[in-house]
């Protein structure tokens, strides 16, 4: 009887030990699972990878044909990167990434130089040279385990050429999941070469977001007639870029059969393409033009001039 009792005691003791070990194992794996989910959520923003300012590159592409809204978007993007949060943003601005649309080009070079210094390329005057420079930066980003984000302020023809060139390289990983293209405009898709639009959709992570010309549709609305608050900007560099953008916009808007942007013709602003950059950078709190100015333009005036 004593032996039986000892055996039962040992069995109970072993069972308790096993249960404790099992509990410890459960806690261990629960911690791992929680950490994994937490890290994954940190990398996901609304079901997509999050822009990593330490590794990724942003290609801000502008067709500049034939709408002058790109000029205002350049000024708005310049204001954005003057903010401390985005001063270390790795980007290249590309002028002249138009597709098959008809109409005259809007010459933006003086504005791009004023806004971006040496961080822009001219795909209108020399598409091959511009493509090579962007390719070099994109390749370096991929080799450093970063992602490529393209804000398509126009058509996707240039993006297709870039992806084709990158696909010829031998990366140790599939690059199609590391190239993200963001488009907000139906019209931009309609005047992209059809075969090139199909190509980018198959060979990149392609996001179609709500139109940045419309209020309260999920994207910020950056097309506003009768908006003159930009005249209150105090920062000399900032007001210089905005003044030049508006001057060029007024000079070319609707001229020689170019598109007549009614918001700009009515003393307003249109930087609707910036909605794509906001989406890429995870800027969610901005509703419209006035909110953008209050958050990212006028606050620069606090910086010592």
CA atoms within 13 A on the CB side of 48: 21
pLDDT (tens digit per residue) in 45-64: 556 789 999 999 999 999 99
- C-alpha pair distances (Å), 228 with each of 231, 234, 290: 6, 14, 10
User: Which range is least confidently modeled, 72-81, 206-215, 265-274, 296-305?
Assistant: 296-305
* pLDDT at residue 305, rounded to an integer: 41
Which residues make beta-bridge pairs with 105? 65
* pLDDT at residue 164, rounded to an integer: 98
> What contacts 117, CB < 8 A, 6 or more positions away?
none
Residue-averaged pLDDT of the chain? 89
pTM: 0.85
């Amino acid at each position: 009887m004593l032996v039986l009792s000892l055996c039962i005691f040992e069995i109970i003791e072993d069972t308790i030990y096993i249960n404790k070990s099992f509990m410890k194992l459960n806690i261990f794996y629960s911690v791992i699972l929680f950490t994994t989910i937490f890290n994954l959520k940190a990398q996901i923003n609304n079901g997509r990878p999050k822009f990593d300012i330490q590794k990724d590159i942003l290609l801000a592409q502008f067709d500049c044909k034939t709408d002058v809204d790109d000029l205002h978007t350049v000024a708005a993007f310049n204001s954005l990167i003057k903010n401390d949060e985005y001063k270390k943003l790795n980007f290249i601005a590309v002028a002249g990434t138009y597709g098959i649309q008809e109409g005259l080009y809007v010459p933006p070079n003086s504005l791009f130089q004023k806004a971006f210094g040496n961080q822009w390329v001219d795909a209108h005057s020399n598409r091959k040279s511009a493509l090579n420079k962007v390719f070099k930066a994109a390749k370096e980003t991929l080799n450093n385990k970063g992602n490529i984000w393209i804000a398509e302020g126009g058509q996707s023809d240039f993006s297709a050429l870039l992806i084709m060139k990158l696909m010829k390289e031998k990366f140790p990983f599939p690059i199609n999941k590391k190239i993200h293209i963001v488009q907000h405009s139906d019209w931009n898709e309609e005047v992209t070469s059809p075969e090139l639009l199909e190509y980018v959709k198959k060979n990149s992570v392609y996001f179609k977001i709500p139109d940045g010309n419309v209020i309260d549709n999920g994207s910020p609305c950056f097309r506003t007639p009768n908006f003159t608050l930009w005249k209150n900007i105090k920062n000399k560099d900032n007001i210089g870029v905005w003044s030049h953008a508006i001057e060029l916009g007024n000079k070319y808007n609707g001229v020689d059969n170019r598109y007549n942007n009614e918001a700009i013709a009515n003393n307003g602003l249109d930087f609707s393409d910036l909605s794509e950059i906001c989406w890429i950078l995870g800027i969610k709190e901005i509703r419209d033009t006035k909110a953008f100015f209050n958050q990212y333009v006028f606050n620069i005036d606090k910086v010592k001039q």
